[in-house]
Amino acid sequence: MFNNLSEKLDKALHVLKGHGSITEVNVAETLKEVRRALLDADVNFKIAKEFTNRVKEKALGQNVLTTLQPGQLMVKIVKDELTELMGGDVEGINMSGTPTIILMSGLQGSGKTTFSGKLANFLKTKKTKKPLLVACDVYRPAAVDQLHVVGDQIKVDVYSDKGNTDPVAIAQAGIAHAKQNGHNVVIIDTAGRLAVDEAMMKEISNIHKAIQPQETLFVVDSMTGQDAVNTAKAFNDVLNFDGVILTKLDGDTRGGAAISIKSVVNKPIKFIGTGEKMEAIDVFYPSRMADRILGMGDVVSLVERAQEQFDEVEARKLQKKIAKNQFGFDDFLKQIQQIKKMGNMKDLIGMIPGAGKMMKDIDIDDDAFKGIEAIIHSMTVKERTNPSIIDASRKKRIGKGSGTSVQEVNQLLKQFNQMSKMMKMMQGGKGKAMMNAMKN
Ligand code: GDP
């Protein structure tokens, strides 16, 4: 996320490192680079200029009042200003109304349907709500099917009426269906077009007027940069929406949309989408995002994601197994699956301060565990619970079955062995023995 921008800002802010104080001259030089970095990230020209002007004013004003080094001071000011620009405080979703009605808007392909599912899943698991998804795209039957697939996946009911060509009527019927069936949240997915056009605006505006949602969300693909901002403006003029959803932040997004959108439409970004999976949704925290943009990582979000996946009952079971030396490959597989649920690997690494920069050229994809998983899946149940029985002929069979080599099977077995030993030592409180084992 934002690798290029992070790198350029880092370089720009480095200019001040060797200087004893902030002066008109060195601040101008730094800010010229900061502005260039923002423009390269597709931030609107006016916003970039105003941003650097504010930073300049603050830097020159605060210079004498602080004990911070000029470089540190500048990083702090840039971080504060970036946070402010992206929205300052976190704004949640208005959950009033029985049921709460949430209307999704945005262009085709922006990620509306996917996000509708993610939001339903989020509200169901985090807020113990009972959502209903309503499919109002009357032009593309495939879009309705897609919502049903998403609903099945997250076990959330979907209301649709394929023969009906009136989206307003479908939305209203969906809300009535929700009331009759005890759903307390209704998420209405609507049709989008490839570009802003009058008919689409009229349609969404009609739905909006008829159902009076508590929350209207505008979904936008962050890869579209300044276009995202223009589209947001057009939708906001018609809908006066409540919040923005930025999708596809897992890609090589330049960052312009995230930075500019709030100040153009004066509406907060509420959630971000960071992948195609239903779990790839995050509440948008301007200050955490600013940290990430400045390459400072986002440890808070990383820990939160780990906590979300943490299952206390499972953890206790695991602990018992380790204590009894019964930790097998099935348990290992479960651990891998939990890590994968935390999100895209590159994204996770980017949350560790400094790691994103260090590993920017290393290609880590979501398939990082594929080989290991394939090997484990090719083992028999017996082999998984008792890996010591895996002899040469079994290794050959496993390698063949998983499309890997005997060497790879050997390597995994060796690593698994070491890990098991380590776990056993930790359990026994033999910290010293463990340290020794790690040295060898
Ligand atoms: P809609 O036309 O607005 O309903 O858009 P869809 O929900 O069908 O999404 C369009 C495409 O973008 C699909 O292939 C989705 O899987 C993909 N997509 C949606 N959100 C994200 C995201 O946050 N990250 C990534 N990488 N892909 C996404």
Give the tens place of pLDDT for each residue, 312-352: 777 778 777 777 778 888 888 888 887 777 777 777 777 77
Q: What angle do CA 426, 431, 436 make, to 5 degrees?
A: 110
Give me ligand 1 centre to Cα 113, in Å.
7
Identify the residue whose C-alpha is closest to ligand 1 atom 6: 111
Q: 341: closest CA among 392, 367, 306?
A: 306
Give me ligand 1 centre to Cα 115, in Å.
8
Band (434; pLDDT cuts 50, 70, 90)? very low
Give the tens place of pLDDT for each residue, 353-372: 666 666 666 666 667 688 88
Q: What average pLDDT does this structure show over 409-432?
A: 75
Q: Which atom in ligand 1 lies closest to the alpha carbon of residue 273?
A: 23
Choosing from 113, 114, 115 the residue with most ligand 1 atoms within 8 A of its CB, the one to mutate for a pocket test is 114
Question: Is 431 assigned to a binding site?
Answer: no
Question: Is 253 assigned to a binding site?
Answer: no
Mean pLDDT score of the chain, rounded to an integer? 85
CB 113 within 8 A of CB 146: yes
Does residue 432 have a pLDDT over 60?
no
Does residue 198 have a pLDDT over 50?
yes
Q: ipTM surpassing 0.90, yes or no?
A: yes
Tokens encoding 378: 């090719």
Question: Is 189 assigned to a binding site?
Answer: yes
| Helix (H) and strand (E) counts in the chain | 21, 8
Report the C-alpha gap between 273 and 222 in whole angstroms.
9
Q: Which residue has the higher pLDDT, 35 or 15?
A: 35
Q: What average pLDDT does this structure show over 121-134?
A: 91
Does residue 429 have a pLDDT over 60?
no
User: Under DSSP, is residue 166 helix (H, G, I), strand (E, B) or coil?
Assistant: coil
Tokens encoding 268: 């907060």
pTM of the model: 0.74
Give me ligand 1 centre to Cα 256, in Å.
19
**269-273 and 243-247 as β-strands: parallel, antiparallel, unpaired?**
parallel
Question: Is 192 assigned to a binding site?
Answer: yes
CA 303, 306, 312, 315 torsion-angle sign: negative
Give me ligand 1 centre to Cα 372, in Å.
28
Residues touching ligand 1 (Cβ under 6 Å) are 106, 108-114, 192, 247-248, 250-251, 273-276, 280
Give the tens place of pLDDT for each residue, 63-111: 555 566 777 788 888 889 999 999 877 778 999 988 999 999 999 999 9
Question: Is 191 assigned to a binding site?
Answer: yes
CB 361 within 8 A of CB 311: no
Tokens encoding 240: 């006066």
Report the C-alpha gap between 100 and 215 in whole angstroms.
8
**Which domains, ranges and CATH numbers included, belong to the chain?**
3-86 (1.20.120.140), 100-294 (3.40.50.300), 304-439 (1.10.260.30)
Give me ligand 1 centre to Cα 266, in Å.
25
CB 74 within 8 A of CB 59: yes
